[in-house]
Amino acid sequence: MLSKVGGYVFAVAFIVAGWWITALAVNSPALPTPAQTVEVLGSNMDVLIPFFWTSAYRVVASLLIGTLLAVPIAQLCTRSRVLDRLFAPVLYLLYPIPKVVLLPILLVLFGLADAPKIVLISLTVFFQVLVAVRDAVKAVPESALISVRALGGSAWDEYRHVYVPATLPAVFTSLRIGVGTAIAVLFIAEAMAGSTGLGYFIMQSWSMVNYPRMFAGIIALALLGLVLYAIFDLLERRLTRWR
């Protein structure tokens, strides 16, 4: 535990030092020093905190929705050869499409509130988790299933004792990767539409040519991603202790 904390302290110190040196070397208002940014960060907490929770709600809701939809669909389709043959081409065609291009359509359909942003991020996460879980299910050895059946296990036992343990690591890996993608999509969605969230805060600061305020928003957005990443990392270690 102490070594991990020490690693984070070193990482923060390294990043701040690199940022400070770069800001001094560039000597441009567009790149404020960490001290300037922290000062503005403290003075804008009254605005940043509500925006932070708004963005956090959108990302967490999207991650949950995308995962809860993707896992059972991946399990069902992969365990049925007929369904897998039918839906695999659909997946291959839809997965490479950048989901962010759907934002204008979602804005027309759902307006400027939370719904289009959550739907967009959910779609992005859905396909990432779907691909990861599908591959994990396909990698389950047939011998493991035969062992459960030989002991009189039911289909539910196969799911609980074989498929769930086999796919949990893939789910958490895809979620950790998905956090970065979700934060990026969130920023684009909030910057383009609406008047709440950290993405809006960052772009509003940029339009005001208030670069320290903009970097304060960037720090808040990065902190959101870091917290979510750490939560998924902790959950994976707790739920996959058998590894």
- What are the pLDDT digits (tens) for 95-120? 888 888 888 899 899 887 889 999 99
Q: What is the DSSP letter of 162?
A: I
Which residues are CB-contacts of 29 (< 8 A; sequence separation ≥ 6)?
209, 211
Where helices occur in the chain by DSSP H, the ranges are: 2-26, 34-43, 45-79, 81-94, 103-110, 114-138, 142-150, 155-158, 164-192, 198-207, 211-239
Q: What is the pLDDT of residue 145?
A: 66
Length of the chain: 243
For the chain, the structural domain boundaries read 1-29, 32-239
CB 82: neighbour CB atoms within 10 A?
8
| Correct CATH for 32-239 of 3.40.50.970, 1.10.10.60, 3.40.50.2000, 1.10.3720.10 | 1.10.3720.10
Q: What is the pLDDT of residue 87?
A: 82
Tokens coding 86: 């039918």
Where does the pLDDT of residue 3 fall: very low under 50, low under 70, confident under 90, or very high at 90 and above? low
Separation of alpha carbons 223 and 216, rounded Å: 11
In the numeric block, the tokens 């289909």 are attached to: 155
> Mean of the pLDDT values across residues 20-44?
88
Query: Which of 127, 120, 124 lies closest to 102, judged by CA?
Result: 120
Q: What is the pLDDT of residue 144?
A: 67
Tell me which of 126-130, 152-156, 189-193 is least confident.
152-156
Separation of alpha carbons 73 and 133, rounded Å: 9
Tokens coding 39: 């000062």
Query: Which of 61, 189, 78 lies closest to 126, judged by CA?
Result: 61
Cβ burial of 51 (10 Å; 0-12, 13-18, 19+) is buried
